[in-house]
Every structure is written in structure tokens, then in C-alpha cells.
Amino acid sequence: SAVISQKPSRDICQRGTSLTIQCQVDSQVTMMFWYRQQPGQSLTLIATANQGSEATYESGFVIDKFPISRPNLTFSTLTVSNMSPEDSSIYLCSVPFKTGREKAEAFFGQGTRLTVV
């Protein structure tokens, strides 16, 4: 199983500023995922971060707003840029699992609870 450390666990930020969330995995993984969970909502995939290439963003999310770095196979960052109160959410990083005949696990960081005031 993978262990994921995500930080900060929570933050309160002023509108117009940016916050960078870090995600560290204890093993090498090809893909990492970033999710957003708005208050009272389900989890929505923001983007897939691949080492050595640009992140792939889902519909409704753009690189200028959510730049992602993936400098190596164990680390990724997500930046929430030029924040507004609508960005107040829980952000989670995740790593995929082994599919096929092997058992599958899905792993999540502890989440970052962001409040923009």
C-alpha cells in the first residue's frame, strides 16, 4: 500500500492570493491525481499529473488557475491561483492502483481544507 503525505492540512487565505499544496508519496508512481471537493459536494477530478509531461486537465479546469508540478515520481504540487471564495474546498491528491488480476487499492492524501476569505 502507498502512504501519501499532503500538506497543508488546512489554510485560510485572502482572496487574490495563491496557495500551493504539496503531496509526497512513499513510493514511485507514474500518475498522480488531484481532486476537488466543494462544500457538500462529491469529489471532482481536476487533473492527472504525469512525471515528465504536462498535466492533463479535466473539463472546467485550466492550467492558469490550477498549475501542477510533477518534478519526480514521488512528489507533486497543486497551486490554486488568484483565489476567490468559490475556491473554498477540500483538495485531495491520490495515486492509482494496480489493476488487472492484482487487488486494487486507491490511496488518498489527508486532504487540504481551504477557506478563502
Partner 1 sequence: AQKVTQAQTEISVVEKEDVTLDCVYETRDTTYYLFWYKQPPSGELVFLIRRNSFDEQNEISGRYSWNFQKSTSSFNFTITASQVVDSAVYFCALVGAGNMLTFGGGTRLMVKP
Q: Is 96 in the site for partner 1 (CB under 8 A)?
A: yes
Q: Least distance to partner 1 from the beta carbon of 40, Å? A: 9
Could you say which of 7, 11, 108, 115 contacts partner 1 (CB under 8 A)? 108
Q: Which one, 80 or 111, has the nearer CB to partner 1?
A: 111
Q: Is 55 in the site for partner 1 (CB under 8 A)?
A: no
Measured CA to CA, the distance from residue 65 to residue 17 in angstroms comes to: 11
Q: Is 45 in the site for partner 1 (CB under 8 A)?
A: yes
> Cβ-count burial of 93 within 10 angstroms (0-12 exposed, 13-18 middle, 19+ buried)?
buried
> Cβ-count burial of 34 within 10 angstroms (0-12 exposed, 13-18 middle, 19+ buried)?
buried
Instruction: Show the DSSP H helices in 5-63 as ranges.
Output: none
Q: Which one, 56 or 82, has the nearer CB to partner 1?
A: 56
Q: Where along the sequence are the contacts to partner 1 (CB under 8 A)? A: 31, 33, 41-45, 48, 90, 92, 94, 96-97, 99-100, 103-108, 110-111, 113
